[in-house]
Amino acid sequence: MERGRLRSAVTAEERQMMTMKHTILVVDDEQTMRDFLATSLKSRYQVHTAGDGTEAMAVLRAEKIDLVLSDMQMPGRGGMELLSDIRTHLDYQPLVVMMTAFGSIELALEATRKGAQDFLTKPFGMDQLDHAVKRAFEFAELKTENKSLRTNVAERSEHKGLLGNNPAMVQMREKIAMIADSRGTVLLQGESGTGKEVVARAIHESGNRANGPFIRINCAAIPEALLESELFGYERGAFTGAVGTRQGKFELADGGTLLLDEISEMPFAMQAKLLRVLQEREFMRLGAKYATKADVRIIATTNRNLKEEIKAHNFREDLYFRLNVIPLRIVPLRLRKDDIPLLAAHFCQNFCAENNKPLLEITESAMRCLLAMDWPGNVRQLQNVLERAVILSNDDCLDEEILGLSEEMDATDRASGLSQDMTLKDMERELIMRKLENTRGNRTQAAQELGISVRTLRNKLNLYTDMGLEIPG
């Protein structure tokens, strides 16, 4: 009697646990195949079975099914007919994964175009089955999350444009909240395209200077002869052509923030003048007799390793220490790929609005392509890809073809100089050269990204020099 009670209690517990699992409907006209699949899946999922499309629709109407695992070829209503019935006659939309023999792969591909999430080619193993089912559920969750993110505009605005749930981005937002009200100089370091200006604006807008001006100057874009006047301004008659008094960026940023973009490109002589301004909190216009004070919060950005620039005598060490009061490093997109769905949905929504288009859905296959990319151009490259796709799209969704990622990948390969005729040593050399170009000759950064020591990199570069090759940087 006790054994019977215990058995009933366990069964009830199992039933309670089953209600918390995803529910799968296995559809196949072969009894042995149905039993095999049901037995393979029931330890992790709640499983129902049906022998054809008609039986399957009866189950789908009676039960809430999360995923349909259906054979393609069946007597009566087969897989394609079942897929059509699901899409047109159900008040909810379960995921669909098709099972097909090798000869009907084209039909399976047509099914994916019509809404099936994936297909399995018979015969398949348990690992393939588990992977297909897991992948379908993951993308369903991703799709739901994207829809929620697109409607959650208020939450986005609180993050000041810093989208992402990756731990690195969460930590970045926490640091910004801590430093926003301080006057300490911030040094933002990160690869091109990672969003250094977005972070700088977030710091400005999150603190007590949010109502003040945010002034940006690109130190690499202004000729050395003009940079001083751009920063500090000038008095009338200070030089030929100075027909009036002009305020510089420091003066214009009074009460707010001055962003010194690409600070590593500032001429060495100008660095000394900037250091003096940062130390004394005052500056002099060109041609002026008296100094002018300005309450300015400085944020500087660079995509170079300033310690290496100091060793190369391209950057002043004392200025580096003055700028590096609050260092922040932005991780590249390839190290936080879990944020790509959120970023892609955000860019898609913005560009649809800008181009007066209805909101376009990013297909699951397109999202898989986005996640497969390493994005050497980081968030900026992803943004450009989504903008192009939205503009060129004439459909109600963005698929992998309109994204044009194959062209992006081909362009990267062409830029690297790789070809099928190259030996492994040739490819290694091209990869090292390309990495040095991307890091502008920064050997420490290049070695880190290549996964080798600086000493190993130096030895290989010495070998290339002996071969008569010109080393980037």
Same domain, 15 and 133: yes
Same domain, 255 and 367: no
- CATH code at position 102: 3.40.50.2300
- Residue 342 forms beta bridges with which residues? none
For position 264, what pLDDT does the model report? 92
Is 278 inside any structural domain? yes
pLDDT along the chain (473 residues), means of 10: 33 42 92 90 92 93 93 88 89 89 69 81 85 83 60 44 85 92 93 92 91 92 85 80 81 93 91 90 83 90 91 93 94 89 91 88 86 87 92 86 69 46 63 79 81 81 75 74
For position 159, what pLDDT does the model report? 53
Residues 6+ apart with CB under 8 A from 297: 183, 185, 204, 207, 209, 256, 257, 258
Same domain, 304 and 432: no
For position 146, what pLDDT does the model report? 56
- CATH code at position 437: 1.10.10.60
Lookup: tokens for 290:
């008296």
Same domain, 122 and 168: no
The parent domain of residue 459 ranges over: 417-466
Same domain, 210 and 356: no
Within 10 Å of residue 114's Cβ, how many Cβ atoms? Answer: 12
- CATH code at position 312: 3.40.50.300
Same domain, 365 and 431: no
Q: If DSSP codes are grouped into helix, strand and coil, which group holds residue 234?
A: strand
Same domain, 8 and 123: yes
Closest CA to 82 of 57, 61, 105: 57
CA-to-CA distance for 203 and 177, rounded, in angstroms? 8
Same domain, 128 and 208: no
CA 46, 48, 49: angle at the middle one, nearest 5?
150
Closest CA to 315 of 372, 275, 285: 275
Same domain, 176 and 240: yes
Residues 6+ apart with CB under 8 A from 204: 210, 214, 256, 257, 297, 299
pTM of the predicted protein model? 0.56
Same domain, 38 and 85: yes
For position 16, what pLDDT does the model report? 41
Is 425 inside any structural domain? yes
For position 427, what pLDDT does the model report? 65
User: Where among 268, 296, 329 does a domain terminate?
Assistant: 329
User: Where among 93, 120, 150 does a domain terminate?
Assistant: 150
Handedness of CA 127, 129, 133, 139 (dihedral sign): positive
Is 471 inside any structural domain? no
Is 41 inside any structural domain? yes
Is 158 inside any structural domain? no
Is residue 98 within 8 A of residue 120, CB to CB? The reply is yes
Is 473 inside any structural domain? no
Same domain, 82 and 219: no
User: Where among 329, 348, 367 does a domain terminate?
Assistant: 329
Is 42 inside any structural domain? yes
- CATH code at position 410: 1.10.8.60
What radius of gyration, in Å, describes the C-alpha atoms of the chain? 30
Q: 208-228 burial, b if ≥16 CB within 10 A, otherwise e?
A: ebeebebbbbebeebeeeebb
For position 416, what pLDDT does the model report? 44
Is residue 473 within 8 A of residue 438, CB to CB? The reply is no
Same domain, 231 and 193: yes
Is 451 inside any structural domain? yes
Closest CA to 263 of 203, 317, 323, 195: 323
Give the number of domains in the chain: 4
